[in-house]
Chain A
Amino acid sequence: MGTVKRIGWRLLLMLPILALVSVLAFLIGVLTPGDPIEAQYANRFTAEQLDQIRATYGLDLPLWQQYFVWLKNVAVDGGGISIVLGVPVFDILGPNFLNTLILTLGGVVACVVFGMAIGATAGIFHRTWIDRAVMLIVQIGSNLSIYWFGLVLIIVFSLQLQWLPVGGMQSRNGGGFADLLAHLVLPSLAAGLISMLVLARFVRIGIIHEVGTEHFKTFASQGIPRWKLYGKHVGRNILPSAVNITGLEIGTLITGVIFVESVFNWPGIGTQLLNAVNGKDYPVIQGGILLVAACYLVVNLLTDITVDSLNPRLRRA
């Protein structure tokens, strides 16, 4: 009962946040330097005609009116019409957005699996050479650029070893789910790299902390085997912070995905957004930002709910 109420509150609180985000998304789009109409049509039309075009897009209205027009467009009109392409924004972003979500999900899986594994290895073997070696690799990895790392992955696994495809989302003659997975491996690793290393650090520190706690010693002093202690007591107690970090890292991950898409030729919204920025295509930029921000909010909400449900102090309040 308490849980349902708490989630209800969180949902309610999302509304003002979403409103604020929409204002920011709108302003970021509008206030970027440059005029899309001029960029698009200046060499073909006279100044009066340009003003007319502006009027049809509603760009001559005061800013606050433009904002509400845009809100209405987002709500009912597919996010408005792209200035460059002349089609509804969500028709452009929609299908690509799904692809981006797939890649983000791949990145999250890579982040969680490898982050946990790397962190656990270092944490369990704390104060041995294994910990030092793993942490050195983590240190180096954290300083790599995603672009470069993506290219190295392609060179090693696609060109040299030829285990995995070079890029794209599907083979030319199509292919099933396995084909999609094969295409997904390398970009997911690249997208998840930084996040997995951040997570690994937290997992490692969490394990070191937990092993030093009195309750770990309590169960160790009763002769419970090590692996059981790690699996149950350590694992359960670092879980909330691991979930928390993963949730926060998804934000970073989405940003990374947009770059990774261009390295691996992944048909996501990243390419669309880059084009939109170049063409000063307001509606697309605004719609894209809003979409990503909404995703981020949803992820945050899910993270909070999960973390709360893992905390016995809140579960029964």
Chain B
Amino acid sequence: MTASAPRPAAVAPQPGRRPGAAAVLEVAGLSVSFEPKSPGSEVVRDVGFTLSAGEVLALVGESGSGKSVTASAILGLLPRPAQITSGSIRLGGDELTGLSQRGLSAYRGRRLGVIFQNPLASLDPSFTVRNQLGEIIRHHRPGLGSGARNELAAEWLRRVGIGDADRVLRAYPHELSGGMRQRVMIALASLAEPAVLIADEPTTALDTVVQRQVLDLLHEVVTTRDAALLLITHDFDVVEHMADRVVVLRDGRVVEAGVRSEVLQRPRHPYTKLLLSSVPRLGAAPAGAGRGAAQPGADAGPPPGTGSAAASEGNPGGTGSADAGRPGRVTSGARTPLAGPADPADLTEPNDPAEAADSERGELLTVRDLTKTFALGGLGTGMPRREFTAVKDVAFAVRPGEAYGLIGRSGSGKSTVARLIGGLLPATSGSVVFDGHQITGSGGAALTRLRPRFQYVFQDATSSLNPRLTVGEQILRPLRRFGLAGRGRAAGRELLEEKLALVGLPAELGGRYPHALSGGQRQRIGIARALALEPELLILDEPTSALDVSTQATLVELLLDLKHRLGLTYVFIGHNLALVEWICDRIGVLEQGALVDEFATDDLYDDTRAEETRALLAANLSTRKAGTP
């Protein structure tokens, strides 16, 4: 049980181990490969760490770093072709590698529990919570009668902060919210009181308010039982909130390990530094970027000063190294330096004076009393017709050159608003006026004429690109549609090159299919496609939410840079307050379909903010650190 057994020294010294605490999980020299027969193909190489009782260890890395594969290897749940090629995994002194599935069963649940990433998918949709918890209890404690099983399940639900345990027990997973489901999942994984709990990105799919509650709960569940938690995450806010020690993974290798304060405040490895500098923080935009806020007392009205303060903080080379440090093919040379001298005059020039005069009070986009209801049930479904109001009487205006942020929890209606503005959904009532032209209600030719002037960038870059067309073709299609692609192949190629250069991609990428690009590159293609028609307004629906922090940082910098260079206007939808603060000049807060607060970004911390805004602010994990360097 004790850690006295000789252990291959795979990692640097492990400071911060609580003296006297026994190592409950020891991973040493672990390598995993999807092609076990070909050497050098490992996706996890020589990874090692130990985890003691009562400790929280964060395994941090970007997608593809091997952190989830490491977790699967510990659980013995590697997908079929993947195998552990070397190394050892010791749980309380027992070697787990080489055990059969049957052999591993003895450890699962009882000594090793796991919480998966997606609470919406980790419970079986066909059975009630009672049934699923009951199954786990029956498995681990076969002696209990059904009454005692129910009692125990209800007790655990109460322990994870579910007040009406009886209702939840009778519910099917779809009848519970994401946060509730994750609580049930934590109860399920903790039922057998395992010594080690593995949580694989437990809050990535949850909005910030719920995220914080779930993390706090997880911490409590682990520490009160003196269990150990292996937390897999890409989010440094989560790390800072939860972890005692941190292991940073990159390309399957450990690049840095140590106690939290050491790693976060004095990172030794450049990769860790890069990751840390990419995290958007409330009240402090990441190094080398920013919309140029933070001038106390400055009038926040349009036009915003963009990028003027950017060069003052951090390393100017940070953006370049972000790309150079990655194996991707993004050439930093193609990009205009971010922190160029700001010339506010550039930003306001109206694209067409005559039209600008048309538009009301200098507003590019005016939204009035916008309402959208969806009908559920009705004729032929056998269910009574019900109406669900997703957006209710929302009104705001966006001025040219401005970045307007819409923020809210999941289900607050922010994406619906974006689609209504983009003319992708018909509004139930109210109006959206773009530069003097009605978008709502106008269809067909009128809307088609307007379309090139406002474009949309979707949340999921992968599914918004057609997998069967080259990305170059996808950028050129809208141009052809409006007869702007020029004549002949050469003209098209030249145009494409120009559009790709705009988003910092080399021309060769135009011939590739989406699957041959990285997530960040795909989203750049999405932006290039939206920009191809030279629009004035971009509607950005959480364009970075599927990306790693460092990719997110470079993409946000690109967006800020494009806005500055092309004089674009943004409507930016987000759920991460720090990110919205980073990009936007003004912010609107949505709660249950209604706009409950609206303010200039600099006034975010005012006492007069609406309750929902303060709730979002309080839930942000990095709030406590706001203002500190």
Contacts and interface: CB of A to CB of B under 8 A. Distances in A.
A13 B77 contact: no
B384 to A, nearest CB: 9
Contacts of A222: 108-109, 113, 136, 139-140, 188-189, 192
Given A218-B185, A223-B104, A312 B77 contact: no
A87 to B, nearest CB: 41
Interface string B69-90: 0000001010111000000000
Interface stretch (B116-124, B245-253, B265-273): B116-124
Contacts of A5: 382
Contacts of B118: 214
Contact of B108 (A9, A215, A221, A316): A221
Interface string A205-226: 0000000111101111111111
B125 interface: yes
Contacts of B112: 221
A54 interface: no
B116 A217 contact: yes
Nearest to B382: A6
A214 B174 contact: no
A95 interface: no
B114 interface: yes
Contact of B382 (A9, A213, A220, A224): A9
A127 interface: yes
A313 interface: yes
Interface in B599-623: none
Contacts of A226: 101
A219 B135 contact: yes
Q: Is the interface of B mostly helix, strand, loop or mixed?
A: loop
B524 to A, nearest CB: 30
Interface string B280-295: 0000000000000000
Contacts of B513: none
A223 B123 contact: no
A213 B126 CA distance: 13
Interface string B545-578: 0000000000000000000000000000000000
A2 B109 contact: no
A5 B379 CA distance: 12
Contacts of B159: none
Contacts of B136: 219, 222, 224
Contacts of A313: 125, 172, 174
B380 A13 contact: yes
B107 interface: yes
B181 to A, nearest CB: 11
A223 B80 contact: no
- Which of A5, A219, A310 is the most central at the interface, judged by chain B CB atoms within 10 Å of its CB? A219
Interface residues of A, number: 33
Interface residues of B, number: 44
A58 interface: no
Contacts of B106: 223
Nearest to B121: A214
B383 A214 contact: no
A312 B124 CA distance: 11
A73 interface: no
A223 B77 contact: no
A9 B377 CA distance: 13
Contacts of B172: 312-313, 316
A42 B381 CA distance: 54
A13 B77 CA distance: 48
Contact of A215 (B77, B113, B121, B189): B121
A212 B113 CA distance: 19
B109 A221 contact: yes
B451 interface: no
Given A221-B77, A313-B174, A215 B382 contact: no
A304 B127 CA distance: 20
A223 B135 contact: no
Contacts of A6: 381-383
A214 B139 contact: no
A2 B382 contact: yes
Contacts of A9: 380-382
B135 A237 contact: no
Interface in A1-52: 2, 5-10, 13
Contacts of A10: 382
A227 to B, nearest CB: 11
B108 A223 contact: yes
Given A2-B383, A9-B380, A215 B114 contact: no
Contacts of A219: 124, 132, 135-136
Contact of A127 (B80, B107, B124): B80
B331 interface: no
Contacts of A126: 80
B107 A217 contact: no
- Which of B109, B140, B174 is the most central at the interface, judged by chain A CB atoms within 10 Å of its CB? B109
A213 B121 contact: yes
Contacts of B101: 226
Contact of B125 (A127, A312, A316): A312
Contact of B126 (A217, A218, A312): A312
Contacts of A223: 104-110, 139-140
A314 to B, nearest CB: 8
Given A2-B382, A10-B382, A222-B136, A217 B174 contact: no
Which 5 pairs from chain A and chain B are nearest by CB?
A6-B382, A223-B108, A222-B109, A214-B121, A223-B105
Given A222-B136, A223-B105, A236-B124, 14 more contacts: A9-B382, A215-B121, A217-B116, A218-B116, A218-B188, A221-B75, A221-B112, A222-B108, A222-B109, A222-B140, A222-B188, A222-B189, A232-B135, A312-B172
15 contacts: A5-B382, A6-B383, A8-B382, A9-B380, A214-B121, A215-B122, A215-B124, A218-B185, A219-B135, A222-B188, A223-B108, A237-B124, A313-B125, A313-B174, A317-B377
Interface of A: 2, 5-10, 13, 126-127, 212-215, 217-226, 232-233, 236-237, 310, 312-313, 316-317
Interface of B: 75, 77, 79-81, 101-102, 104-110, 112-114, 116-118, 121-128, 132, 135-136, 139-140, 172, 174, 185, 188-189, 192, 377, 380-383
